[in-house]
């Protein structure tokens, strides 16, 4: 029995949908389904009822769920405590950051707040927001650096996870210019030519923000989705090559804007101001993490 099967079990119990649960676990739906069936075979009884209304836990599944939650918590706690014993006295620091922030904001920000000569090892995990949330909730990193907006809540309860605002950015609807310098894909769209949307996938934190923001949600509703990715850098490249409109972090797109490779597709009313926040793990702590938190939060 693989412990990942237990995490799959909890994800499906929460999502109640194979497709969403597989996406959250970064698996194809067939692979995810095989792992659920393997767990049920190992237990020896069905754990889920599959119907037209979705997926629900069977009585056996409901009985198993709290036991699995406790087992995984205890396993993660034992791993953290064992790792802490090994790291005690060392200045190792682990930070998860979304892809866009990893190469636009993180390098200069960490130089301002950390003396590298006093640090043993700095580990940066760069991934989608969904993947970063998972490692943070599992206590595998000291901090998470991410974009935040009130219309797209994260999975971190403020009562448990402290956070500090460490920067600001804005999502701007951008596209390539036409020959006359005007946007090739203007918003609102010209009559008879729907604008093409370069969209973020469900794993993207920026995608949650764009879809959760009322003005941009209404603007995007009549648009045709021409491409999807969880990487803002990929959407930037597609926008620059003329394939449609993407809401991009200004910090990421500024050079292309300055060089005229990207232009504003819509009015400033479609911009989305966003915060850059540092979220602190309540479980993964050491002296280096405490020092970075004091430097960045003013605590």
* pLDDT tens, position by position, 128-156: 999 999 999 988 899 999 999 998 888 89
- Provide mean pLDDT across the span 273-297: 89
Residue 92 pLDDT level (bands cut at 50, 70, 90): confident
| Exposed/middle/buried for residue 228 (C-beta within 10 Å: 0-12, 13-18, 19+) | middle
| Exposed/middle/buried for residue 10 (C-beta within 10 Å: 0-12, 13-18, 19+) | middle
Q: What is the pLDDT of residues 19-69, one digit of tens each?
A: 999 999 899 999 999 999 999 999 999 999 988 778 999 999 999 999 999
Straight-line distance from the first to the last Cα atom of the chain, in angstroms, rounded to the nearest whole number: 44
CA distance 188 to 225: 15
Q: What is the pLDDT of residue 116?
A: 52
Mapped onto helix, strand or coil, the DSSP state of residue 181 is coil
Better-scored residue on pLDDT, 37 or 111 = 37
Q: Note the helical H segments in the chain.
A: 3-15, 18-24, 29-43, 59-87, 99-104, 106-113, 129-137, 205-212, 214-220, 232-240, 250-258, 287-297
Strand partners, 57: 48
Mean pLDDT, the chain, whole residue set:
89
Residues of the chain with CATH 3.40.190.290: 168-274
Residue 141: DSSP 8-state: -
Provide the CATH topology of domain 3-85: Arc Repressor Mutant, subunit A (1.10.10)
CA distance 52 to 49: 10
Q: What is the pLDDT of residue 155?
A: 86
How far is Cα of residue 246 from the mean position of the Cα atoms in its chain? Answer: 17
Are the C-beta atoms of 258 and 236 separated by less than 8 Å? Answer: no
Q: What is the pLDDT of residue 111?
A: 84
pTM score of the predicted model: 0.68
Strand partners, 202: none
Strand partners, 274: 169
Where does 168-274 sit in CATH, by number?
3.40.190.290
Are the C-beta atoms of 239 and 262 separated by less than 8 Å? Answer: yes
Residues of the chain with CATH 3.40.190.10: 92-167+275-297
- Provide mean pLDDT across the span 98-117: 84
Q: What is the pLDDT of residue 284?
A: 85
Q: What is the pLDDT of residue 120?
A: 61
CA distances from 56 to 13, 51, 61, 207 (A): 7, 8, 9, 28
Better-scored residue on pLDDT, 244 or 283 = 244
As a whole-number percent, the residues of the chain with pLDDT over 90 amount to 61
CATH architecture of 92-167+275-297: 3-Layer(aba) Sandwich (3.40)
As a whole-number percent, the residues of the chain with pLDDT over 70 amount to 94
Q: What is the pLDDT of residue 87?
A: 57
Q: What is the pLDDT of residue 6?
A: 92
Residue 184: DSSP 8-state: S
For the ranges 92-101, 187-196, 257-266, the lowest mean pLDDT is seen at: 187-196
Q: What is the pLDDT of residues 210-231, one digit of tens each?
A: 988 888 888 887 888 889 999 9
CA distance 103 to 251: 10
Question: Encoding tokens for residue 175?
Answer: 């596209």
CA distance 23 to 121: 32
Q: What is the pLDDT of residue 280?
A: 94
Are the C-beta atoms of 53 and 93 separated by less than 8 Å? Answer: no
Strand partners, 183: 177
Residues of the chain with CATH 1.10.10.10: 3-85
- Provide mean pLDDT across the span 78-84: 78
Largest CA distance in the chain: 68
Are the C-beta atoms of 209 and 147 separated by less than 8 Å? Answer: yes
Q: What is the pLDDT of residues 149-204, one digit of tens each?
A: 998 888 898 889 999 999 999 999 999 999 999 999 999 887 767 889 999 998 89
């Amino acid at each position: 029995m693989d412990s990942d099967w237990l995490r799959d079990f909890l994800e499906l119990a929460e999502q109640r949908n194979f497709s969403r649960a597989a996406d959250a676990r970064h698996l194809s739906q067939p692979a995810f389904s095989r792992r659920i069936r393997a767990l049920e075979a190992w237990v020896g009884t069905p754990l889920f009822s599959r119907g037209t209304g979705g997926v629900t836990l069977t009585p056996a599944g409901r009985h198993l769920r709290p036991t699995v939650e406790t087992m995984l918590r205890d396993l993660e706690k034992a791993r953290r405590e064992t790792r802490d014993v090994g790291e005690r006295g060392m200045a190792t620091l682990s930070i998860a950051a979304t892809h866009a922030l990893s190469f636009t904001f993180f390098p200069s920000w960490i130089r301002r707040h950390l003396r590298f000569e006093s640090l043993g090892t700095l580990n940066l995990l760069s991934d989608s927001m969904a993947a970063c949330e998972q490692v943070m909730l599992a206590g595998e990193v000291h901090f998470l650096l991410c974009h935040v907006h009130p219309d797209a809540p994260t999975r971190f309860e403020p009562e448990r996870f402290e956070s500090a605002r460490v920067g600001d950015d804005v999502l701007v609807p951008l596209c390539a210019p036409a020959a006359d310098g005007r946007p090739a894909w203007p918003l609102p769209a010209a009559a008879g030519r729907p604008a093409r949307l370069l969209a973020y996938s469900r794993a993207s934190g920026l995608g949650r923000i764009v879809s959760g923001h009322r003005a941009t949600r209404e603007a995007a509703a009549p648009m045709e989705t021409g491409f999807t990715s969880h990487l803002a850098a990929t959407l930037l490249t597609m926008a620059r090559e003329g394939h449609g409109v993407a809401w991009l972090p200004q910090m990421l797109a500024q050079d292309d804007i300055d060089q005229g490779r990207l232009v504003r597709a819509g009015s400033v009313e479609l911009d989305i101001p966003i915060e850059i926040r540092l979220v602190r793990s309540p479980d993964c702590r050491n002296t280096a993490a405490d020092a970075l938190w004091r430097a960045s939060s003013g605590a």
